[in-house]
Amino acid sequence: MRAVRRGGLVEQVIDALTAPIESGEWPPGHRLPAVTDLAAELEVGRSTVREAVQALAHRGLLEVAQGRGTFVADPGPGQWILQLRRSAALDVYEARRGPEIEAARLAALRRTDDDLAAIEAAVAERRAARTCGAVGEWAAADLALHRAVVAATHNPVLGRLFDALADGVHDSFTHQSADPGSGVDTADEHDALVDAIARRDPEAAAAATRGYLDACEGELRVLLGGASPDGALSDRTP
């Protein structure tokens, strides 16, 4: 591992600890060096290392055994992120941003009563799916809500564009932990989106859409880490 650069220290340490797990240098069950040793090697404070370890333990990549040390966790559903192409999900989010913000704005201007009923039913399904905690059901419900918003634009080009992105959007929902089971809860932003569409407020609808995209993309950047393809640490911050 390399010493981290200044700025975003915890994220940099998360990257540094994740890299040998991804590469297989630290296999499941491997015991990590002591906090003091890691702090010295990475040239950061022990509290920074502890915070990074706690974050990785929360994500299921590490197991902290009191009195025994910290170990690489056995592979499980929570470690999908190690198999995901690092750039693919972020590419999807970048591609989504423009069309979804414009769709929200147009839906607020053009929606009919039937459109609003469909959107309100979809957001209720999304809320119920999140409560049950099944990521696949939540992803499908989330996608259905955004399809309903796009349908309310009555713009066939936007509809085809969304359909073209739909597989990647579904994969990014299914494979990232933002919303179900994570610290990122965008239910309020989605409720705000529906409320803005109901009030025919295009600017508020666009702002709510930016809000949930920013929150989910930020969480995804943290989950994916900031290592570049050549293994160097990045200064990129969410």
pLDDT tens track for 142-190: 888 999 999 999 999 998 888 777 655 555 554 444 454 444 678 899 9
Q: Of 30, 22, 121, give the one whose Cα is nearest residue 79.
A: 22
Take residue 222 and report the two structure tokens written for it: 């943290």
User: What is the percentage of the chain residues whose pLDDT exceeds 70?
Assistant: 74
| Long-range contacts from 4-8, C-beta under 8 angstroms, 24+ separation | 4/42, 4/43, 4/44, 4/233, 5/233, 5/235, 7/235, 7/237, 8/235, 8/237
Q: Of 188, 181, 69, give the one whose Cα is nearest residue 129.
A: 181
User: What are 59-97's pLDDT values in tens digits?
Assistant: 778 999 888 999 998 765 444 444 444 446 677 778 888
Task: Give the pLDDT band of residue 136 (cuts 50, 70, 90).
Answer: low
Three-state DSSP class for residue 31? strand
Cα four-point dihedral sign 54, 234, 46, 29? positive
Q: Of 120, 114, 34, give the one whose Cα is nearest residue 71.
A: 34
Those residues whose C-beta lies under 8 Å from the C-beta of residue 114, and which sit 6 or more positions away, are none
User: What are 3-33's pLDDT values in tens digits?
Assistant: 555 446 888 898 899 889 878 899 889 999 9
pTM: 0.57
Task: Give the pLDDT band of residue 58 (cuts 50, 70, 90).
Answer: confident
